[in-house]
Amino acid sequence: MRDVSFAMIALRTASACALAAAQCSAFAQAPDAARDYPAKPIRIIVPYPPGGLGDIFPRALANGLSELVGQPVIVDNRPGASQMIGAQLAAKSAPDGYTLFFGSVTSLAINVSAQKNLPYDPLKDFTPVTFCFSTPLYLVTSTALPATTVKELIALAKVRPAGLTFASGGPGSSTHLAAELFRSMTGANLVHVPYKGSAPAMTDVMAGHIDFMFEGGGINYVRDGKVRGLAVTSLKRSVNAPQMPTMNEAGVAGYEAAIWFGIVVPAATPRPVVARLNGDIGKVLNQPRFRERLATLDIAPGTPEAFGVYIRNEIPKWRNVIQTANISIE
């Protein structure tokens, strides 16, 4: 019995030592993953076509990141299907830090509730790296509409039997949901008129065929006198239109519907690599020349943890809007 006991003790001791050695090895290797990274080109999957803001920003980031890390950083445009094509491709990529996804409020928060049979899970399939920037929408109306403030717009929508019409870039788009959030918070009587993109939607607002819309580039049309600008959807005033009140200042307390973007990587990407990416991307986004080039954007890189909390808070916010409006996209 004594020999058996000694043998068991020896076995347990050996197992404990082996486990400790394995853990030490893992801890020793973890920093190497970040120290040796990157050892080959990095790809940023962008779910937008070339040319727009959703493409310009990640290309600027790719150039700065490539200079910083000494490896090519390639932008891979995969547009279509409300950003689901690019998001699914990124989610299924190897979790090694060499595939990044340029996500947004649509791909990481809205699609969860707006899309049936979503082929990825923003929370389970991705690890947040950093928030990048946000940009507001602008509430603009036809110049023929007899409403010069948000309060007058709400009052007009409530007294008109048929309500007011609002245009959007399509069902479930940020321009659509911004108006639905406005409807739910004010009780305004509104009729949705979806378009295939924001450009034709804005054309009909300018022509007076549609009463109003929320649009990211709306301030440009305000400056040209083609539409009337009533408010900005961010919590603070826009540097592009400091004279324009926020929706909160205009009487819709707590309203916020900014479009935001950030970088995520496939789940299970090593934490040291995520930390390295977070630090390097932060350095690029804080470069004076980068901020000067994109001065109209609210660039605000932060920690992976903070971005994760932000995404988790945005999902139920937009789910409530989508369910209230009974929006479902096949």
- Report domain extents, the chain: 38-135+258-325, 138-232
Contact call for residues 128 and 311 (beta carbons, < 8 A): yes
| Rounded distance between C-alpha atoms, residue 56 and residue 220, angstroms | 18
Place of tokens 């995969």: 78
Q: How far apart are CA 217 and CA 213, in angstroms?
A: 11
What pLDDT, on a 0 to 100 scale, did the predictor assign at position 34? Answer: 67
Three-state DSSP at 291 gives helix
Spatial distance between the Cα atoms of 157 and 180, rounded to a whole number of angstroms: 14
Q: Which CATH number fits domain 138-232: 2.40.50.430, 3.40.190.10, 3.90.1140.10, 3.90.870.10?
A: 3.40.190.10
C-alpha to C-alpha distance for 316 and 109, rounded to whole angstroms: 8
Query: Sign of the CA dihedral 264, 237, 316, 155?
Result: negative
Work out the pLDDT band at 12, boundaries 50, 70, 90: very low
Residue 224 has pLDDT above 60, yes or no: yes
Q: What is the DSSP letter of 81?
A: G
Q: Say whether domain 38-135+258-325 belongs to CATH 3.30.200.20.
A: no
- Residue 218's pLDDT is 84
User: Is it true that 38-135+258-325 and 138-232 share their CATH fold?
Assistant: yes
Least confidently predicted of 147-151, 187-191, 193-197: 193-197
Yes or no: say if 157 and 315 are a contact pair by the CB < 8 Å rule: no
More confident: 282 or 11:
282
Rounded distance between C-alpha atoms, residue 297 and residue 300, angstroms: 9
Is residue 301 within 8 Å of residue 307, measured between CB atoms?
A: no
Identity of the residue numbered 164: L
* Mean pLDDT over the full length of the chain: 89
Q: What is the pTM of this model?
A: 0.80
- Weakest mean pLDDT among 11-15, 249-253, 286-290: 11-15
In the chain, where does DSSP find H-type helix? 2-35, 53-69, 84-91, 105, 111-114, 150-159, 174-186, 198-206, 218-223, 271-285, 288-293, 304-325
